[in-house]
Amino acid sequence: MKKNQHMLTFEEVSRLDDVLGTAILVHGRGNFPTLEVKPKSFIKILQTQLADQEIIVQDVRLNGSTASYILNAEDELKDAQVYNDLDLIFNVELKSHSHFQQVKTAVLDSLKDFLPDGVSKERITSCTLKEAYVRKMVKVTNSQDNWSLITLTNNDGRHIELKFVDNMRRKFEFSIDSFQIILDTILNFYNLTDVEITSTLYPTVAAESVYGDFDEAKRHLVEKLIATKNPEEIRGGGLLKYCNLLLKHFSPVDPDYKTMEKYMCSRFFIDFKDIYSQQEKLEKYMDSHFIHNNSQKYEYLMILYEVVESSTVCLMNHERRQTLQLISSIANRLRCPRKYQKITVFYSIPNFMYGSGTNGTSNPQQEYVVLSKWESPTPDEEPMAVSCY
């Protein structure tokens, strides 16, 4: 067996089976119904749709925090679902713009199978499904990358992320998210038999670490250690995730971790040059990873502030202060949200506007009408931006 590979134990296969068989809610916008999507059923339907579009799938892999959750059987919280998004990778050939369009069509057509009975599926277009259920669409094409991402919306932050990869230069940020579980054998097991997985009958499932040494990456996962390679190659430098790992009580494995932090900060400010893009990226990250948890957001921002303050060497002093002020202002807003006093403005009505009394004199009583009111602002939820290709 290769150094970067591992065969799943029965306990790990069982956890994988549970994940693939547990329905994930895909929430629709407006009046569109919520869909209950079992990953193993969705993958099967999507593979069929891709075949109909003449897109050949080389293999299907489970990636990210879900793969780490399955492989971390030693975790004290092993019975808790500590993963966020369900990250699925479909290794396919994407050689032209039409291939990207075919992939998008296959995903949206697959969603139709999960619409409730009674819905006229023939009348629902792909564009309608995209606006209703897709949170994000990304296409990356350059000399080193050729892949697309389609994210299905879950209001609790457990999105279904579908990556269609022809070539991806950087496949991981840190060693603990470098695991990829190859699903083809367990998917074939589901197709061939309805027999439940038991300790005496279960498929052989392989996993690999694209970080390199599987055992080393697994040790980092179990012992809560932070390790990466060439952070300057990661978009955003991995800075935001690094601070999230510190929040979860992970520790850098490298004693010279300050050098790693400097590379992270430098790359982050290269990719997000102005204060507006920094704010947008930071707020989106927090909204995605700390759903309705302002306390965690505040702790996270304090960690980020400390890292940026101590490890930023690429900015002018006023730029650095500006970024630190941004982090502070967001943190203060979370810690002490402003409460606006209700204000009502009255306008005095002149006497000549009243009719005369019985004795011909004006009404002496001073009266007022309401001109306008202001109340504590409750900004509407911003609509999710959906980019399409």
For 292-351, write each residue's pLDDT tens digit.
788 899 999 999 999 999 999 988 999 999 999 999 999 998 887 665 455 555 556 566
Length of the chain: 389
pLDDT band (50, 70, 90) for residue 355: low
State percent of the chain over pLDDT 90: 66
- Which tokens is 247 given? 């929040």
pLDDT of residue 195: 81
197-225 burial, b for 16+ CB within 10 Å, e for fewer?
Answer: beeeebbebbbbbbbeebebbbebbeeeb
- Which tokens is 47 given? 């593979």
pLDDT of residue 76: 46
What is d(CA 95, CA 178) in angstroms, rounded to the nearest whole number?
26
Least confident range from 157-171, 172-186, 285-299: namely 285-299
237-242 mean pLDDT: 96
pLDDT of residue 350: 61
Residue 386 has pLDDT above 50, yes or no: no
- Which tokens is 214 given? 């599987």
- Tell me the CA distances in angstroms from 293 to 159, 287, 306, one per residue in order: 17, 9, 21
pLDDT of residue 119: 81
pLDDT of residue 381: 40
For 258-305, write each residue's pLDDT tens digit.
999 999 999 999 999 999 999 999 999 998 888 778 889 999 999 999
Whether the Cβ atoms of residue 17 and residue 197 lie closer than 8 Å to each other: yes
Residue 210 has pLDDT above 70, yes or no: yes
What is d(CA 251, CA 303) in angstroms, rounded to the nearest whole number?
13
Phi, psi angle pair for 182, to nearest 5°:
-80, 120
Q: Which residues pair with 165 in a beta bridge?
A: 91, 147
Q: Which DSSP letter does residue 198 get?
A: B
For 133-155, write each residue's pLDDT tens digit.
999 999 999 888 999 999 999 98
35-54 burial, b for 16+ CB within 10 Å, e for fewer?
Answer: bebebbbbbbbbbebbeebe
Q: How many angstroms separate the most distant Cα atoms in the chain?
A: 108
- Which tokens is 182 given? 């190859």
- Which tokens is 73 given? 């059987």
- Name which of 89, 106, 68 is nearest 160 in CA terms: 89
- Segment of 70-84, 149-163, 280-294 carrying the highest mean pLDDT: 149-163
- Tell me the CA distances in angstroms from 356 to 3, 103, 347, 360, one per residue in order: 99, 78, 21, 5
Whether the Cβ atoms of residue 60 and residue 39 lie closer than 8 Å to each other: no
Least confident range from 53-62, 71-80, 89-98, 227-236: namely 71-80
190-205 mean pLDDT: 88
Q: Edge to edge, what strands does the sheet with 57-63 contain? A: 5-7, 206-209, 179-182, 57-63, 86-92, 160-167, 146-152, 134-141
Which residue type sits at 226? I
For 217-230, write each residue's pLDDT tens digit.
999 999 999 999 99
- Name which of 241, 250, 243 is nearest 221 in CA terms: 250
Whether the Cβ atoms of residue 16 and residue 181 lie closer than 8 Å to each other: yes
Element housing 289 (H / E) = helix 275-289
- Tell me the CA distances in angstroms from 361 to 170, 351, 366, 369, one per residue in order: 87, 10, 14, 22
Contacts with 113 (C-beta within 8 Å, 6 or more apart), sequence order? 45
Q: Which DSSP letter does residue 38 get?
A: -
